[in-house]
Structure formats: structure tokens, C-alpha cells
Structure 1
Amino acid sequence: MKKKILIIIGVLILLIAILIAVFVVKDLRQEKTLRDEIASIQELAGSEQMDAVNEKLGHIVTTGDYAKVEKAVKNYMADNFNNAITIAEALNDEVLTNALTAENYMSDGPDFVKTKLLLSDLQKRLTKAKEEQKRLSTNETVMSYLKDKEDSYYVDLYKEIIGEEESASEDAIEIEQSIDEVLDMVAVEQSVIDFLSENKGQWTVQDGIVAFSDEALNVQYNQLLLELE
């Protein structure tokens, strides 16, 4: 009888050990699946396959607490990607290269109503994107994406993955510096356009070159252009 009890206890211990092993293996697989998923998204983003990135961001491949971490990471990445796209589009806006061309002077001058609106809109978009970049970089914002913070293991896992994601992306400071450089350029272009509209009637475009009726105005105009160099 005692031998049977010992056998039963041994079997129970073995079953418990097997169950624990199953849960551990399942957890390890879930974590690997999560890490592989994030790495795949980073790789796709690096090769600018944004359709594939968006598709992955919209699907959850893990379950349970891992799914909560995955959802938080993907939501954070999505907001970063969206802001990065906004910044890239603004930095490549045609108004930057077209505003101070002879063609634009002739088509939109001397009041430059359209050009002023476009430059103002670009300035607002860049400023807003810069502020969003700063917001996304704060620890408070990063942690706000993870709703369930009761289990320290999953909190640490989230922090680790987000840390890896941040290190793989463009440095936030460099992005802000690039935006500041373009904002400075926009400000100078606005000054040039304002100068031309304020002195309308005193300049014309001849053979693609701006000619002023007053040499002093010509000097001021060229000084403004030097600020773009």
C-alpha cells in the first residue's frame, strides 16, 4: 500500500513537472515569437516596405500577457512611424525648392498669396511633428502605451523591446536638428517672399533673374538669400 502511494506521488510530481515544463516552453515560444515579430517589422521598415509594416502592426501574433506587450509595442511603433512619415513628407515638400524660383516669382508674385500659405502650412506641420517627436521620446509617453503594469516581468520585457526599437530608429535629437534646419530655411524663405511682396512694383524677372529698380533693394534681397547658404 505504501509503495502504491509512493508511486502515485511520484506520478503526480512527474505530471506537475511536465505541466511546468510545458508552460515554460510555451512562454519561451511566445517571447521568441514576439521578438521575431518586432525584428521583422524593423527590417521591413528599414527597407521602406510600409504596406507590409502596416499589415504586421495591425495583427497580434501572441496571446495572453504577451499579446498585451505586443499590442503596446506595436501601437508605440505605429505612432512613431506615422510621425516619421509626416516629417519626411514635410522635409520633401516642393515649396522648399520652388518658392524662390523665377517661375514662382512670375506665377505667384508680386503678392505671393499661395506661396505664403504653403510656407506657413509647412512651418506648422514641421513644428507640430517636432513636438510630437519630443512627446514620443519621453518615458512617460513610452510607458503610457502599456496598460497593464502589474507584472514586473512583462513591464521589463516591454521596456527592453522598446529600448531595442528606439536604438534601431533614427536618433531623436538628430531628427529634431534636421527639422530645426528646415524651419530656419522656411523662415528665411518667408522673409524673402515678404520682402518681395512689400516691395512689389520695384522688381521684375528678366531672363530668370530678379532685377530691382533700386540698388539698395537689390543688396537687401541678396543679403537675405545669403542666409540660405
Structure 2
Amino acid sequence: MNCEELRTLVGAEPNSTNPEVLAHIESCPECARYRQELQAMDRLIYRALAVEAPTETIASPPKQTQNPSRVWRMAASVLIAVLVGAMSLWLLTPRESFAAEAINHVKHEQFSLVRTSETVDDQELEAVLAASRLRLKPGAAKVSYAQSCPFRGQRVPHLVVQTEQGPVTALVVTDAPTQGREHIDEQGFQGEIIPAPRGVIVVLGQNVPVDAVARTLLSALEY
């Protein structure tokens, strides 16, 4: 189970005792903290839902004064609405930067970052790209790894391109907000987030230049 899959599952059930969830959070502090925050929000909402109106007897108020029980119920309803809205906003707010998420995804498939002369089968590569309505011009790049992976709620082509300096990873994220070019230098990875005809392309290497791969994909990918 990777981070994307865990956060989808825990987002629906913060108190899940799924063995895969428990095993993952033991080795991933970020996901463990994410689960704890969701559980804390769950408890807060539960306490708000458990609010009861006062039961003590109150003398008949003047006509212009509202019934205290009614006021209490209205206040509780407003509190619940605010909490639910806040939780929805919190869940929709990215917990990590785009670059950090891309790096964490690549690190989960670190085994793919090896020098090799082997390339993936043309039909396999074509199928991975076709799932995102993409096509790579034949012979444009030496792709040694190609998978359709979950990333930010969608499936994206995850490619590893072999260069003379070493392997370079590319995530072709077709459904992403428009943004300018962004340099990445985090956690031992260097790379770029590059605007594309649809979405962006994230290219990452470890002490390996990525510009040539970025240019190749921008010119050779057909959207």
C-alpha cells in the first residue's frame, strides 16, 4: 500500500484497523500524522453532535425572549455546520507540495531507478500512455520502466527514461492546475515541473541532468 492509497482509505475511515494501513503508518510518519489529524477531527465532530440542550426548568420569559432550548439547538447546528465545512476544506487542501508528493511517489518505486540497456515492450508502453490519451513518437526515448500509477486522485504514466548520465523519472500528470515552470531540489532529487499541453510533466533525477528528457517528452508526447 502506498501513501496515495492509504490516504484515500483513511479519508473515508480514519479509525480503520486494516492490517495494511497499520503496517504502512508504522513506517511512514507523514501518513501516521495524517491519520491522527483525521481522527482528531472526527472526535471533535462527534462531541459537537453529542451536544444536548439544557434540561433545567426556566421561568416563562417575556414574549420577546427566545426559548433557551431553541437557541441552544440553533447554536449547536451552526457549530456542526462550521466543523463539517472546516473538515471538508481541510481534506481538499493539499497536505504536501506537488514536488514533495512526486518525490515520495518515486521513492516508493525506487527499484525502477537503475541503469539498464533494456527497454519496455512497445505495446506495453503504448497501453500505459493510451490510458491517459497520450502517445510517444516511436524511438523518441529509451523507456526502461512504464506503469500507470495513482497520483493525486488520478492515474498517470510513470516513466523512467535512460540517459548517458543515468535514469530520469517522468510523471505525466494530465489533470493538474496550470502553473509556471518550477525547479525541484529536495530529498536528494533534482528536477522540474513543466507546463504541458494538458497538465504538467514532472521530471526527476538523482544527480542526473533532466533538461534533455524534459525537452524530448515535450516534443515527442502527443496529447
Normalised TM-score (structure 2): 0.30
Q: Decide which structure has greater helix share.
A: 1
Q: Relative to total residues, which structure has the larger strand share, 1 or 2?
A: 2
Return the TM-score normalized by structure 1: 0.29
